[in-house]
Structure 1
């Protein structure tokens, strides 16, 4: 098996393949747990009441189980439960979607009106017509460490992981029998191929009618103006906020004593490519985040501790692509995870392992089929 791209999904795939005894070659263009793509930034939200679609919930519940297993294997703290709040109008996309998933799958939750939110979570200043959907089991993952531990176990079990060796091209036999992958160092041959290449998907998997758009995002770590301890983990929950008429934004607590809370804007249309992304932070970036939090989380509107840029890789409907190649069944594809995918990487790795080894999976991934785009044409 060849796995190309050893970021969030690829590292998990190499891990699962190795645990099942497969002969694995992993190829990565950059160093382990790099900051050139989408899976960095110290923390990533994990939540159960998935507003995007109830179909995600069984997968995220399995992801929790697999993160627990990786924690036990690695003896590292990878997942922290803080509780999570989704804020917005009761009938807005965010809160209504959370309620739909919670009711469909029997997930524990509380619905708090603006007065209850002010008493329980005074860090947030809700409008009178906004509510908070609270789920106790939400929290965050440490993405860089999750990737490192998937890679560590895979390597320990015999996976041959090669870094700073980008794929230049690949070919596959039309009868489903074998693949070849060429890098600047060698041409490798194997029975099957998993392509999990993030923002490089359109460049490295052309002509499959599975559209993705890459866009730039900025992450901010802000020093609170006052009551800094109210943003500590255990006190401050992870959150999503959908203000009426404004972009959805999100945030996480500070995860270390010398750290700062993190915030970012989920929506955006500043398209780019991996080679053209602007890594500089501009006044418009800071203005956007100040506008989002200024009146809503006033104590957090302090000076910038540090920043980072990343890339979102999104499909038109913002659902993932997890499928085999339409012309080559021995090639498995994974793309379109940015914005809300990292939490699923443990289970996506398991699914891609299934597809690579058997061509099918017991997990319901119908919503992620690449054929949905061809049907729309």
Structure 2
């Protein structure tokens, strides 16, 4: 066989897997449907939040600790800063799942943190304006990963280590068979010992077990020019998750674009096949984002600078899928991430390389099993 492992999809998870495999001298082929560094998937828009106090489930924290380590290693080897620490806030009404979940992760894993009321948040971080009765868990290790840079850094290091990378080549079928797998594209047929499918919003097209269960969703991010930019700089504005009556909001300081960045999970609840979801932002998208900026971040409620569309790929419980396909150990599945996966890309890449080379990952992955769906 020309290749030991084929990686289908070279976004966050796939790019990291290519690097981890190539650095182990594994013969790896990475195949991307679009351009390298494209804007059609889930990882563009400059950056993604990383946070150690993980309200979704305490089982994520050991993965995060390793992810931080690997992001720092990637920085050193690539010579480019990828991880930016601002601190993080998990915000919601007192007793809400975001606040209580964050506290539970901090308690279980001994994370340094502080529980702040709404007034204290405003005093310490004046860009925030929270309603009475809201509280926030502050954890100093949170921040963001430069997601677009990180993908390119992983692929550059993978290429330097011997990985073969193909762009603008669409995978049509994956055919497992005893002792190996064939990957059929619109240009060729390849054979390998194993395949990693990290195709994001297109994964259900290639993994029958995810059909109807991995559902792409249109997501829109907005950047607004603050009236007082100094309040939204990385040294004064922690990244955050905010559970509000309008939905679950997430925020970034000014970086890369001179604007405050915000999104709302599940945005306008537009789901469908990845090829059918519009990538063009609309006035309705802006109106939703501006309504929450005006209420919770009034000093950021200035002119619109940018709108960007990306795709989430959700499963019902909103946890990840990291597993092998039913009845096909040669097919390793890595997705979806339900809108909160990029921060884990560095460690998931390592986990996928472990599985693909017959090594048992040093983490409990039962939360991410395919059969739970």
CA deviations over 1:2-23 (Å, ceiling 9, x no partner): 1111111000000001111101
Other-structure match for 1:64:
68
- Give the number of aligned pairs: 368
Please tell me whether residue 273 in structure 1 is matched to residue 273 in structure 2: yes
Is the Cα contact below 8 Å between 1:10 and 1:196 reproduced in 2?
yes
Q: Is 1:34 aligned to residue 38 of structure 2?
A: yes
Structure 1 runs, 4 residues or longer, greater than 6 Å off: none
CA shift digits 1:45-91 (9 cap, x unpaired): 00001000000000011000000000000110101001111111121
Displacement after TM superposition at 1:338 (Å):
3.7
> Contact between 1:249 and 1:267, CA under 8 Å: does it hold in 2?
no
Q: SS where residue 102 of structure 2 aligns?
A: helix
Q: Which residue does 1:184 correspond to in 2?
A: 186
Distance in 1, matches of 2:126 and 2:361, equals 45
Aligned residue in 1 for 2:204: 202
Q: Which residue of 1 aligns with 2:159?
A: 155
- Structure 1 contact 48–61 (Cα < 8 Å) conserved: yes
Which residue number in structure 2 is paired with residue 315 of structure 1? Answer: 315
Contact 1:312–1:338 (CA under 8 A) maintained in structure 2: yes
Change in 2 beyond 3 A, CA 1:13/1:314: same
Deviation digits for residues 100-139 of structure 1, max 9, x if unmatched? 1000100011111122112111211111100121111100
Q: Is the 8 A contact 2:205 2:211 kept in 1?
A: no
Q: Distance in 1 between matches of 2:209 and 2:296?
A: 45
Aligned to 1:231: 232
Partner-residue secondary structure (3-state), 1:353: helix
Q: Is the 8 A contact 1:208 1:326 kept in 2?
A: no
SS of the residue corresponding to residue 242 of structure 1 reads strand
Please say if residues 259 and 305 of structure 2, whose CA atoms lie closer than 8 Å, have aligned partners that are also in contact: yes
Shift of residue 209 of structure 1? 6.6
1:95 corresponds in structure 2 to: 99
Check 1:219–1:209 CA distance in 2 against 1; reply closer, same or farther (3 A cut).
closer
Query: What residue number does 1:76 align with?
Result: 80
**1:110-121 correspondence to structure 2 within 5 Å:** 110-121=114-125
Q: Distance in 2 between matches of 1:356 and 1:209?
A: 23
| Compared CA separation, residues 210 and 150, structure 1 to 2 (3 A) | farther
TM-score by length of 2: 0.96
> Which residue in the other structure is 1:329 paired with?
329
Q: CA deviation at 1:207?
A: 3.9
**Aligned mates of 2:331, 2:212 — CA distance in 1:** 14
Structure 1 stretch displaced more, 188-197 or 228-237? 228-237
In 1, Cα distance between equivalents of 2:281 and 2:166: 32
Distance in 1 (alpha carbons) for counterparts of 2:19 and 2:258: 30
The structure where strand makes up a greater share of residues is 2
Cross-structure match for 1:221: 223
Do the aligned partners of 1:165 and 1:184 also contact (CA within 8 Å) in 2? yes
Seen in structure 2, the aligned counterparts of structure 1 residues 274 and 209 have a Cα distance that, compared at 3 Å, is: closer
C-alpha distance in 2, partners of 1:182/1:238? 42
Q: How far, CA to CA, are the matches of 1:168 and 1:209 in structure 2?
A: 15
Counterparts of 1:205 and 1:311 in 2: how far apart (Å)?
18
Determine if contact 1:210/1:370 at 8 Å carries over to the other structure: no
Q: d(CA) in 2 for partners of 1:306 and 1:103?
A: 39
